Chain A
Amino acid sequence: MGPDDTDYETLFRRFYPLVLSFFRRRGFAGESAADLTQDVFERVYRAWEGYRGDAERSWIVQIATNVWKNELRRQMAQKRDMHVVSLDSRPGDDDDRALEPRDREDDPETSILARERRRRLRDALTRLPPQARRCALLRYQQGLKYREIADLLELSVGTVKSHLAQAKERLRGELEGEPALSGRSGGER
């Protein structure tokens, strides 16, 4: 079952540019935008019999919105499933310098100190303001670049740097209260 062919073609020609623009403005290019637009009009066709309203534009935009959300959901499901956390890799800095973790756990005593240090740092993290804490986690746990953090949190790069500087100052303050590990000379507690 479907709409009258002529009516459907009229509707298609009237709203095709609107729907295609809808997807292009959401970052879908070329065939992706055309495919999603196609999907919308197939759904419109299937739903036509049940449609009783006269606000066709908002009805079609609603269907396009649902198709958009479905596509986001599909892509995010794939990305989330594919992701494998590497315990070794540390993505680089903005200028591609890697944040290479220092190895300081090569003897039992140092290992105990390192664990204690981590615990204190993580405690200190929880006391940071929310945005500074998120920036620090994204930077030091996930190894993201400033731009990536900014995009995720919808902040400017400058704001991210400012939050990170604040977080680093606070975390450095936390570290200064402990014996230095770099010398590995048997720090006292």
Chain B
Amino acid sequence: MSREAVSTASEAWDELDRELAADLGPGQPPATHPSLDELVAFQVGELEPGERERLLDHLAACSSCSLAVRETARHRAPEREGEPEALPEAEIDAAWRVTRERTVARPTAGVERFPPPRPATRPPRWLPLAATFLVAMGLGFLLGDRQASSPLVNPALVELLPASDGGTRGGEAPAVDPPQADGLHVLLAGRQTGGAGGSWTYRAVVRDARGRTVARVDGLRPDAAGRLSFVLRERPAPGSYVVELHPSAAGADAAALDTFPLELPKP
């Protein structure tokens, strides 16, 4: 083949590239996306072969998810774990000093760092009697607050960001550890109203995928960082949930200030 012919064939091939780029892309983004847990499972190599194939098909069609996977690909599992590297004693000493400050030297480490919310106001004296009456009437469940008076030793902490902050960022629960964790400590971060020290109190309603109320916690006040948190003594079953945030004063039908997606993976 002559040099001119090769050149012409190469140009035609490149021209085809440009034509295909013009004709095929960019397409419509898919209407649905895998959960972040599925993307993580892909990245760490925990997907079954069939699931992996389906996810690859999605990545090929979704620039948003493929970017998320490509940008974190350098953090994939290594091919070989190997022995830990030897570290200078001074480096371990320095790390221990920092860790010590953040654990044993901090009396509030653990669950006390994020105390369960307290009621907005001191309850009136007649409230215990009224509550007893309601329980006796079989209406206690309507109160909905599942918090118990005794502190939990070690609730798993999940930090959620509102859906209005762009969707799922932080919306998936972290993998729960340790496995012995009891309860679920939900921290609502991101955009909120009121802020620390404000007089507003809030109500959080946890709903399952069908919109059924799983838990309701009222009287929440922002902490010093403007975040709200509450503790569910019993962790809900694995699945998709949404935490709705309302002002305490709002009626039951009022629209939520924010919603926080919550994905609880199977252990």
Residues of A within 8 A of B (CB): 1-2, 5, 8-9, 12-13, 16-18, 20-22, 24-28, 34, 37-38, 41-43, 45-47, 49-52, 59, 62-63, 65-81, 83, 85, 87, 90, 93, 97, 99-104, 114, 117-118, 121-122, 125, 130, 133-144, 148, 151-153, 168, 171-172, 175
| B interface residue count range (under 10 / 10 to 19 / 20 to 34 / 35 or more) | 35 or more
Q: Which of B11-19, B205-213, B236-244 lies at the interface with chain A?
A: B11-19
In B190-244, the 8 Å CB interface with A consists of none
- A-chain residues with CB within 8 Å of residue B178 when the two chains form the complex: 43, 46-47, 50-51, 59, 63
CA distance A62 to B84 in the complex (A): 16
Min CB–CB distance B173 → chain A (angstroms): 9
Residues of B within 8 A of A (CB): 13-14, 16-27, 29, 33, 36-37, 39-40, 43-44, 53, 56-57, 59-61, 63-78, 81-87, 92, 95-96, 98-100, 102-104, 109-111, 153-154, 165-172, 174-182
* B172 contacts A26, C-beta separation under 8 Å: no
- B-chain residues with CB within 8 Å of residue A20 when the two chains form the complex: 84-85, 87, 95
* A152 contacts B170, C-beta separation under 8 Å: no
Quick one: which of B67, B95, B109 contacts A37, CB cutoff 8 A?
B95
Quick one: which of B99, B166, B174 contacts A12, CB cutoff 8 A?
B99
B56, B71, B87, B95 — most chain A CB neighbours (10 Å): B95
Min CB–CB distance B96 → chain A (angstroms): 6
CA distance A98 to B168 in the complex (A): 33
Nearest B residue (CB) for A32: B75
* A26 contacts B63, C-beta separation under 8 Å: no
